Amino acid sequence: MRLIKAGQHKAVLLAGMLTLASLSGPARAGEEHEAQQFHEEPPVLATLLVDQLEHRWRDGENSVDWELRGWIGGDTHKFWVNARGSKPVEGGVEKAEFQFLYSRMVSEFWDVQAGIRYDVRPQPQTTYAVAGVKGIAPYYFDVTAQAFLSDEGNLSGRIEAEYDILITQKLILQPLAEINLSAQRVRELDLGRGISNIELGLRLRYEVVKEFAPYVGVSWERKLGETANIARRHGEDPSDLALLAGVRFWF
């Protein structure tokens, strides 16, 4: 958490996150209330999953990356938080994104979600409206698809899918894929039109307990099309391969 201390905006958002996380405490401790409610209505629950908190080693500059999600609510309605970001080991935060969403169950396996996304980094800071779906597709793919409309009127989208392969009960291999798209060129963010990048990851985790798992893995990101050209013009490599190690935990 020390990683995103730089920048006051982030501090505020972090405080918000921690408040949310701490709400899970009362939900667990409020037994007297729940005892009365047990039959009448399911309790309000909260959970926070730090899915990735990892060190990435690469040819260029090494970084620390994170991705987490949490929610508070009941079976049907939830307040949902996503956050992700990246910070070079040396230097300030490069990417930091927060999403605050209302999530509603629409079927056994799917939620629709809507809310705001706030990118603190990269600069300039950008606010988006978010609409999306999250759920489990047939064959157990965990899928998130989101559309974003920025305060500048730019439309973009993101599709993520991940899958758990149990090698044993505790050793789990998780491939994941992410595709980012943009409906137009966004000069300030060095984004071209079309598919801007894809990311493929493979993480092997060992669940010491269900709630805590260290992992190792590999991540490969490739900028495509116009976005790749922009990167090349800036003298950057459009592809990025990193070895990684980290921890996954939830409570």
Partner 1 sequence: MDRTSNFLTRRDALKLAAMAGMAGVVTAYPGRHSFAAADQTLDLAVERTRITVDGVTSNAIAIGGSIPAPTLRLREGQEVVIRVTNRLNEPTSIHWHGLLLQGVMDGAPGFNGFVPIRPGETYTYHFKLRQAGTYWYHSHSAGQEQEGMYGAIVIEPAERDPVRADREYVVLLSDHTIESPNSVLRNLKVSEGYYNNKKRTLVDFFRDAQRDGWSTTVQDRLDWAEMRMDATDLADVTGYHFLVNGKGAKDNWTAIYKPGERVRLRIINGSAMTIFDVRIPGLPMTVVAADGQNVAPVKVDEFRFGVGETYDVIVLPQGDKPFTFFAEPIDRTGYARATLAVRDGLEGEIPERRPRAILTMADMGMSHEGMDHGAMAGMDHSKMAGMGAGAMPGMDHSNMPGMDHSKMAGMGAGAMPGMDHSNMPGMDHSKMAGMGAGAMPGMDHSNMPGMNNGSMEGMAKAAASSNDQAMGWADAGTPPGAKALSYADLKSLTKAKDVREPTHEIEVRLSGMMSRYIWTLNGNKFDEGEPIRVAYGDRVRIRFVNETMMAHPMHLHGMFMELENGQAGRLPRKHVVLVPPGKTVSVQLTADEPGEWPFHCHLLYHMASGMMTRFIVERRSASL
Rounded to a whole number of angstroms, the minimum distance from the CB of residue 109 to partner 1 is: 6
By beta-carbon proximity to partner 1, the closer residue of 8 and 169 is: 169
Nearest CB to partner 1, comparing residues 57 and 109: 109
146's tokens = 């989101």
Measured distance CA(126)–CA(114) in Å, rounded: 17
Q: Which is nearer to partner 1, 47 or 150 (CB)?
A: 47
Residue (15 or 167) nearer to partner 1, CB: 167
Q: How far is the CB of 226 from partner 1 (least distance, A)?
A: 37
End-to-end CA distance of the chain: 16
Q: What is the binding site for partner 1 (CB under 8 A)?
A: 27-28, 31-32, 34-36, 38-40, 42-43, 45, 47, 75, 105, 108-109, 136, 138-140, 165-169, 210, 250
Q: How far is the CB of 66 from partner 1 (least distance, A)?
A: 20
Nearer to partner 1, 39 or 234 (CB): 39
Compute φ and ψ for 16, nearest 5 degrees: -60, -45
Q: Is 46 in contact with 112 (CB distance < 8 Å)?
A: no
Nearest to 172 by CA among 203, 212, 136: 203
| Whole-angstrom distance, CA of residue 76 vs CA of residue 88 | 39
Q: For residues 35 and 187, which CB has a smaller minimum distance to partner 1 in the complex?
A: 35
Counting beta carbons within 10 angstroms of the beta carbon of residue 103, is it exposed (0 to 12), middle (13 to 18) or buried (19 or more)? Answer: buried
How far is residue 178's CA from residue 225's CA, in Å, rounded to a whole number? 16
Smallest distance from partner 1 to CB 41, Å: 8
Minimum CB separation of residue 220 from partner 1 in Å reads: 23
> What's the min distance (Å) between Cβ of 83 and partner 1?
18
Largest separation between any pair of C-alpha atoms in the chain: 64
For residues 149 and 155, the answer to whether their CB atoms sit within 8 Å is: yes
Q: Under a CB-based contact definition with an 8 Å cutoff, are residues 176 and 163 in contact?
A: yes
